[in-house]
Structure 1
Amino acid sequence: MDESMGKQELYRKFQETGQEKRKLEIALEGFFMEKGEEARKEVYGTYLKRRIRSAMEVLIRSEDVGKMEVLEQQGWFGAKELEGFLRTARAEKSLSSLAWLLRLKDEKYGYEDRDFTL
Structure 2
Amino acid sequence: MEKEPNILYQKFQTTGQERIRLACALEGFFSEEDGKETEKSAYGQYLKRRIRPAMEALIREENVGKMELLEEQGWFGAAELDQFLAIARKEHRLESLVWLMKLKDSKYGYKDKTFEL
Per the TM superposition, whether the score is higher than 0.5 is yes
Residue in structure 2 matched with residue 38 of structure 1 by the alignment:
37
Q: Deviation of residue 117 (structure 1)?
A: 3.5
The one-letter amino acid of 2:11's match is K
Q: Deviation of residue 116 (structure 1)?
A: 2.7
RMSD: 1.0
State yes or no: 1:49 paired with 2:48.
Answer: yes
The one-letter amino acid of 2:41's match is E
User: Where in structure 1 do 4 or more consecutive aligned residues deviate above 3 Å?
Assistant: none
What TM-score do you get using the length of structure 1 for normalisation?
Answer: 0.94
Q: Which runs of 5+ in 2 are unaligned?
A: none
The one-letter amino acid of 1:76's match is W
SS of residue matched to 2:12: helix
State yes or no: 1:28 paired with 2:26.
Answer: yes
- 1: distance between equivalents of 2:13 and 2:25? 10
State the Cα deviation string for residues 68-100 of structure 1 (Å, max 9, x = none): 000000000000000000000000000000000
Residue in structure 1 matched with residue 72 of structure 2 by the alignment:
73
The one-letter amino acid of 2:15's match is T
Q: How many residues align?
A: 116
Residue in structure 2 matched with residue 14 of structure 1 by the alignment:
12
SS of residue matched to 2:74: coil
Q: Which runs of 5+ in 1 are unaligned?
A: none
Q: Percent identity?
A: 61
